[in-house]
Every structure is written in C-alpha cells, then in structure tokens.
C-alpha cells in the first residue's frame, strides 16, 4: 500500500518457464511492469499469454523462474496468498450469491462483517455503473453486467496486481468500448498495476501504456504501443501489428532500389530490411514507384489495396472514396520518415524462434 492507501506493486517475472507435458509453453519469460502502470500482453492464440497470467496468479505451476510482486517473491505462494485479482474471460461469478456478495467475495475471505462488505460492494457497483444491482442474482444479469460485476469484484480486493484475461471478448462491440474506457478510468484513479491479456492489437494499443508482444512462449518486444506499431524489432513483429510491407534490399548513398525504382532510405549503407505501415503508403501522381492494384478489400472504415509489380509487393490503405479499381496502375510514394529500418540481427522473421530474443 502507498501513502494514500492504494494497493500498488511492481511485477517482475524472470526466466519463467512452464511446460505442459513435454511441450514448453513459456520459454524463459522476462517481463517487468512498473507499479501503477498498465501493460497489455498481446499475441496470437497459443502464444502462452493466458498461461503466463495464470502462472503469475498462482493458478499454473512453473518449472523455473521467479515472480516478484511489490519486491517480494510470490512464486512459492498459493493463489489465495498472492495478492492478485483476476478478471477472467468469463465472469466466473458464484450463482448462489447475489451481485453484492460476489463483488465482496474477497472481503468475505478476509473476515469482513456482512454489513460492511455489502456497503463497500454497493459503492463499487456504483463505480462500474450498476447502482442498485446488489440484490440481483447472477442469472438475472446480462453478460456485460456480469463482466462489470467481475471487474468490481477485482477492484474490491484492492489487489497489488490486477490481471485481466481477454475480459471483454464475449461482450458486443459497443459495450466493449464502454468497458475499455471504464477500465482505464478505474485503473488510473486507483493507480493499479495492471496486466491486460488480449489477442487484439488494437485493444492492446488502446489499453496498454506499454505493450508486450508474446510469440511462442517468449516476450518478443515490450515497449510503448507506437513503438511496436511503427518501429518493430523484427519482420514478425511488424506483421503482427499489421505491417506486411517488408522491403529487402541494399542501401547505397541513402537510397534503396525497389523493382525498377530507387527511393530514399534511412540509415547507413548496407543490407537492409525496411517496413512501412500500410496507412503511411501514399498514392501520389508523382510517386516514384509504379504498381498495379491487384486486389481491393473494403473493410468498413477504409479500403485495403494489394499492390504489386514484379517481385515488389505492398499493401496500402486508403479512404474508400479514393480507392482505385482493381487492375488500375497507380504511382506510390514511401516517405522516408515513415520507413523503418528493422535492426538486421532481428530482421529474419523466418528464423527459429530462439533468435527472436531481443536481450
């Protein structure tokens, strides 16, 4: 607890290894979350995100490594003594208790009297927008309401660390936006150290002050969201965050030759792997690259263009009203300030997983 009584604790995971049978799930995970901050853990299905969260919460035995919370090692402690609170993918409420008793469950385990715990639960129900819901049975609540109760239950525990495992994935899109905003507001107000698991890169960027990308049981890159989106450490990170434009070549005198054309490129001379986000690719009448539109896909908010010429392939996104037709020839500009040169040591997304390590 800090001076204001708020529960805060930094998380430090070192060399965390978890195996299921003989198959490794976590391969020496290193993760640090400063106290009072919000980190989104993102990755594809099967990357080990939920396993890491469960290991931190004490629900999954670890083979090796350490977990420190607020400077204290907790990896030897059972789940009920770790001081974490978890909001799971499903609300996991107790159906024989009403909403208030579910919210105040941690107070019940702490021996707090019924009158006091119901009063604190009522206040928290108000915080999550469910004023007056205390006596409702779980079966009477919608999925979104149940998830709000689960969030209130987690807040009621005043945890050192708040863990959330894709908590809004079963909620409809509009409610999800509301819940994300609510979560951020409550986290900032209470300065809770928070780890949010998601497979949605957009949600990760929206919710995480920092984002950690996990692939095949390792944290591949951990930084501010804009860094992962715009300055990925490897082609595979670039692809995960939506930039499939990977351009290979040799930079000579500040320029790189792509197809028949030479364009300005960042960095010193030498072999290079460049990436540029699709939304930074500009369709310009005087652009240096001439490409054909191979495919157009309307996505609702923009149109995605697949462009190509010979070996050169690019993806660009444009406003639907500006989208050229498939088969059209367009000129393209790749602004040098938007080109990111992926560090060579990590540029090969095709290399074995162990070479992804950034440390």
Partner 1 sequence: MAPAVLVTVVLFGGALLGAVKQSVEPSLGGGPSTWNLDSWRTLLASPGFLDALRFSAQLALIASVLAASLAVAVAVALRSHGRLVRSAFSLPVPVPHLLVAVVAFMWLSPGGLAQRALGRLPLRLVHDPLGLGVILVYVYKETPFLVLLLLAVMGSTLREREEAAAVFGASPFRVLIWVVWPVIRRPLLIGTMIVAAFVFGAFEVPLVLGPNYPLTLASYALQAQQKSPLRGQGVAAASLLVAAGMSILIAAAVMRLARTADA
Could you tell me the smallest distance in angstroms from the CB atom of residue 19 to partner 1?
18
Written as one string, the DSSP assignment of 202-219 is HHHHHH-SEEEEEETTEE
Q: How many residues does the chain have?
A: 359
Report whether 239 contacts 246 (CB < 8 A).
Answer: yes
Site stretch for partner 1 (CB under 8 A), options 73-81, 184-192, 304-312, 320-328: 73-81
Site stretch for partner 1 (CB under 8 A), options 1-9, 104-112, 230-238, 256-264: 104-112
Q: Compute the C-alpha angle 125/131/132, nearest 5°.
A: 110
Sheet hosting strand 11-20, strand order edge to edge: 23-33, 11-20, 64-69, 72-73
Interaction with partner 1 in 137-166: which residues (CB under 8 A)?
A: 153, 157
78 touches partner 1 (CB under 8 A): yes
Selected binder of partner 1 within 2, 72, 94, 297 (CB under 8 A): 94
112 touches partner 1 (CB under 8 A): no
- State the Cα–Cα distance between residues 43 and 48, nearest whole angstrom: 8
- State the Cα–Cα distance between residues 331 and 262, nearest whole angstrom: 14
Tokens of 39: 């980190």
Draw the binding track, 29-58, toward partner 1 (x: CB under 8 A; -: no contact): ----------------------------xx
Specify the DSSP element, H or E, that contains 8.
Answer: none
Residue number, 87 or 219, with CB nearest to partner 1: 87
Site stretch for partner 1 (CB under 8 A), options 40-48, 91-99, 139-147, 336-344: 91-99
Residue number, 67 or 215, with CB nearest to partner 1: 67
Tokens of 239: 């692809």
Binding residues for partner 1, rule: CB under 8 A, are 57-59, 78-82, 84-86, 88, 90, 92-94, 96, 105-106, 108-110, 153, 157
């Amino acid at each position: 607890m800090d001076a204001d009584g708020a529960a805060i604790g930094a998380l430090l995971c070192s060399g965390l290894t978890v195996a299921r049978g003989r198959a490794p799930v976590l391969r020496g995970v290193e993760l640090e979350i400063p106290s009072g901050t919000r980190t989104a853990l993102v990755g594809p299905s099967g990357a080990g995100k939920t396993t890491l969260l469960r290991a931190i919460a004490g629900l999954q035995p670890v083979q090796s490594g350490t977990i420190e919370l607020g400077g204290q090692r907790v990896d030897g402690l059972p789940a009920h003594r770790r001081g974490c609170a978890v909001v799971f993918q499903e609300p996991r409420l107790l159906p024989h208790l009403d909403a208030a008793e579910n919210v105040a469950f941690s107070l019940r385990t702490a021996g707090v009297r019924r009158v006091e715990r119901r009063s604190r639960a009522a206040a928290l129900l108000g915080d999550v927008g469910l004023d007056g819901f205390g006596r409702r049975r779980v079966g009477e609540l919608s999925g979104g309401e149940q998830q709000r109760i689960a969030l209130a239950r987690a807040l009621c525990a005043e945890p050192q660390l708040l863990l959330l495992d894709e908590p809004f994935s079963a909620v409809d899109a509009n409610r999800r936006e509301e819940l994300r905003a609510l979560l951020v507001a409550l986290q900032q107000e209470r300065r809770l150290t928070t780890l949010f698991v998601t497979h949605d890169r957009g949600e990760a960027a929206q919710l995480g002050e920092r984002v950690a990308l996990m692939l095949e049981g390792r944290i591949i890159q951990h930084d501010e969201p804009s860094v992962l989106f715009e300055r990925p450490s490897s082609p595979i990170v670039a692809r995960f965050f939506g930039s499939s434009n990977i351009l290979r070549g040799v930079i000579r005198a500040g320029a790189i030759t792509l197809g028949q054309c030479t364009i300005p490129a960042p960095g010193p001379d030498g072999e290079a792997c460049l990436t540029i986000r699709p939304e930074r690719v500009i369709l310009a009448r005087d652009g240096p690259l001439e490409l054909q539109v191979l495919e157009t896909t309307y996505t609702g908010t923009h149109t995605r263009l697949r462009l190509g010429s010979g070996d050169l392939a690019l993806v660009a996104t444009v406003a639907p009203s500006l989208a050229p037709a498939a088969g059209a020839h367009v000129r393209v500009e790749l602004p040098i300030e938007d080109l990111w040169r992926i560090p060579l040591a990590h540029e090969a997304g095709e290399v074995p997983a162990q070479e992804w390590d950034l440390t």
